[in-house]
Amino acid sequence: MNPGSAAARVKTIALECGASACGIAAAGDLAEFERFAKAAEAVPAGLAYLGREPLKRKNIKNWFAPARSVLVCAFSYWGPGRDYTAELAAAGDLAAYLKNTGRKAYQPDLLAAPGAKISRYALARDYHLTVKEKLGLALAGIKKEFPGAEGKIFCDTSPVLEKELGRLAGLGARGRHTLLVSGELGSWFFLGGIALDLELPADAPAADRCAGCGRCVKACPTGALKGGALDAGLCISYWTTQAKEKLPAALAAKTGGFAYGCDLCQEACPLNKKTR
């Protein structure tokens, strides 16, 4: 099988196993690492883990030595046909719901407040489990199709620059809210992938889709988005999902009701109004 046909088959397997979209990036040094490393020096305490094993993030081969290509997959978790208000109501008691889905909320006072909301991504089973299961099926399918092939799965918790690999694989461009934005999926998707020892041709990086638009920046109530970067110390999502300290009063007044995660910047994105 020639490399182009092999890449197409690998993508087909991923889509059959539940990916909404996928692409191939080359395994190698990432220029984006320099920006990431600098940003990681200034993150709040709850994100200190981003500074661990930094060189593994520079090149995925430092994490999985046999890697030659990276299959990066997007898993859509929301779309315009969903009714957020109805699904939020169906979740019932939010503190109990989050606990039952394996999540820990760090700002219980916000959860207990009338009209409390949680991010759309949390209105389902823990995505780490779901995405890894789908990627596991994809890897098994790839090994069956290509005997002797090896790979290693990543989803959020591994020292991998997923967003940059996703951009290079053509899944989306980096938006001003720092998330990848796709013309088909908007930004309502999870990222995960498989480092593979197969030599596959890389896809073309995604084109910028945010030219002339700054709605996400304007929608952030705390001013956490500046110059295409995120100040995590001002981010409502950081404070409600990872920070162990009590949310400062000045920020608590600007949550827009969000008590776990925050969707305000994504709600403002026009590309999220017409996703498939």
The secondary structure of 216-245, three-state, reads: HHHHCCCCCEECCEECHHHCHHHHHHCCCC
Catalytic, out of 29, 109, 126, 156: 156
Q: Do 224 and 235 contact (CB within 8 A), yes or no?
A: yes
Instruction: Give the type of residue at 177.
Output: H
Query: Is 156 one of the catalytic residues?
Result: yes
Rounded CA-CA distance 104/95 in Å is 9
Half-sphere exposure of 72 (CA within 13 A, CB side): 31
- Burial class for 109, CB neighbours closer than 10 Å (0-12, 13-18, 19+): exposed
**C-alpha closest to that of 73 among 25, 14, 125:** 14
Strands 151-154 and 69-76: unpaired
Q: Which residues are catalytic?
A: 156
